[in-house]
């Protein structure tokens, strides 16, 4: 089974994120002040689901015996995807905090020099605007001044929001136009955050993160392929529900088949710092949205079993079952070890979260694979 381990390692290498997202302005000791800008624009996700430091090279726990696929190898990328989605929303908040020093307390326009790439940026604030057939109290747009004649208009950031007690808003950001030094390898990446407090779904706060043109390291190409990601996170008290998927058009599975999505649902407790997740690997262009297809038919266990059997048709089934022990769903996590069990609950605290998964479903893989993010 050492050959299987080698192949699964190659599978992991092809899915490492290379994008470094930075805001246009450094967030350096900015004092709180009265302004028009929203105070929050993200949902914090428990570290048990999003903390990339919970694993070391994908292997610190979940080991049953030598010939067993490790739990943190299986779920390593889920942890990364959720961290990237959460990180995108944090970038928006950092950007907003970075421009507070310009005292955005009225309708105005100004020009400043970015502390990051030393390029001139233009900022304009408008009121009573419309975007996507919805009225907004304010719109803030930041552009890279010397790029305004380009196809993307040089747009670095647009925020639409309503100045209510409970914030509702949309933020669209292109990291390359924010900082062309740090994001030189992400020229086409654009992401969007739809943030709502007290929405109709019953969460205290919720966000939907959409990312297009996300560069990935890919050993089969020189040097990058691109991906898309769509993720929802909703917080109610101490509990955060997360679902979504991301596509990998050139990623390779065991048998050599390429092009699939990581479809996932998860729920975590912020105080207890534990989490539960279920993952499927449907084809990137599958036009289905039901969780039975995405998470059951294309579960990690089913897909890995099919792929390995296609490569080794005569494989000993007992050996294969032992190797895939940790692929049983759902996966259970804490913030210290990462993966701690698959298929069998570690205790009552995790059972509460497991019960929430049945009401969550990933997005349609085909729609996610084809999504685009555009400015106004």
Q: Give the CA dihedral 197, 201, 207, 213, nearest 10 degrees.
A: -150
How far apart are the C-alpha atoms of 70 and 96, rounded to whole Å? Answer: 40
- Quickly list DSSP for 210-260: EEEEEEEE-TTSSSEEEEEEEEEEEEETTEEEEEEEEEEEEEE-TTS-EEE
Cα separation, 280 vs 299, whole angstroms? 4
- Indicate the domain borders of the chain: 2-370
Residue 214 has what pLDDT?
83
Note down pLDDT in tens along the chain; length 376 residues: 443 443 343 343 334 444 445 545 444 443 444 677 888 889 999 999 986 554 333 333 333 344 678 888 888 778 888 888 898 888 888 878 877 777 776 778 889 898 889 999 999 999 999 999 999 999 999 999 999 999 999 999 999 998 877 889 999 999 999 999 988 888 899 999 999 998 889 999 999 999 998 887 654 554 456 789 999 999 999 999 999 999 877 666 766 667 889 999 999 999 999 999 999 999 999 999 999 999 999 999 999 999 889 888 999 999 999 999 999 999 999 988 899 999 999 999 999 999 999 999 999 999 999 999 999 9
What would the two tokens of residue 372 be? 């685009």
**Residue 89 neighbours by CB distance under 10 Å:** 24
Q: What pLDDT score was predicted for residue 34?
A: 63
Return d(Cα 21, Cα 258) in angstroms, integer: 27
Contact 17, 76 (CB under 8 A): no
**Residue-level pLDDT at 51:** 63
pLDDT of residue 76: 79
């Amino acid at each position: 089974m050492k050959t299987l381990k080698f192949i699964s390692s190659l599978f992991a290498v092809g899915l490492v994120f290379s994008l470094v997202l930075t805001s246009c302005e450094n967030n350096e000791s900015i004092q709180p002040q009265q302004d028009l800008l929203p105070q929050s624009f993200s949902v914090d996700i428990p570290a048990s689901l999003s903390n990339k430091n919970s694993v070391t090279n994908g292997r610190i726990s979940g080991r049953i015996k030598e010939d067993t696929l490790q739990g943190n190898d299986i779920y390593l990328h889920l942890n990364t995807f959720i961290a990237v989605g959460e990180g995108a929303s944090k970038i928006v908040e950092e950007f907003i905090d970075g421009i507070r020093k310009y005292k955005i307390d009225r309708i105005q326009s100004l020009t400043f020099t970015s502390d990051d790439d030393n390029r001139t940026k233009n900022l304009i604030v408008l009121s009573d605007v419309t975007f996507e057939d919805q009225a907004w109290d304010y719109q803030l747009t930041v552009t890279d001044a010397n790029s305004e004649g380009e196809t993307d208009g040089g747009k670095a950031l647009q925020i639409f929001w309503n100045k209510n007690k409970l914030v509702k808003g949309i933020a669209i950001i292109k990291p390359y136009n924010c900082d062309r030094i740090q994001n030189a390898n992400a020229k086409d990446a654009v992401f969007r955050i739809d943030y709502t407090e007290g929405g109709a779904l019953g969460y205290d706060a919720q966000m939907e993160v959409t990312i297009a043109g996300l560069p990935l390291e890919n050993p089969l190409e020189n040097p990058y392929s691109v991906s898309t990601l769509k993720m929802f996170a909703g917080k109610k008290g101490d509990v955060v529900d997360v679902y979504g998927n991301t596509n990998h058009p050139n990623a390779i599975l065991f048998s050599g088949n390429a092009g699939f999505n990581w479809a996932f649902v998860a729920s975590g407790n912020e105080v207890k710092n534990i989490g539960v997740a279920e993952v499927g690997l449907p084809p990137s262009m599958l036009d289905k949205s039901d969780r039975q297809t995405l998470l059951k038919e294309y579960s990690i266990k089913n897909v890995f079993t099919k792929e390995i059997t296609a490569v080794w048709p005569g494989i000993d089934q007992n050996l294969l079952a032992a190797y895939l022990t940790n692929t049983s769903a759902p996966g259970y996590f804490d913030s210290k070890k990462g993966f701690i069990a698959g298929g069998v609950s570690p205790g009552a605290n995790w059972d509460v979260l497991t019960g929430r998964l049945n009401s969550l479903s990933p997005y349609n893989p085909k729609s996610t694979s084809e999504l685009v993010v555009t400015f106004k």
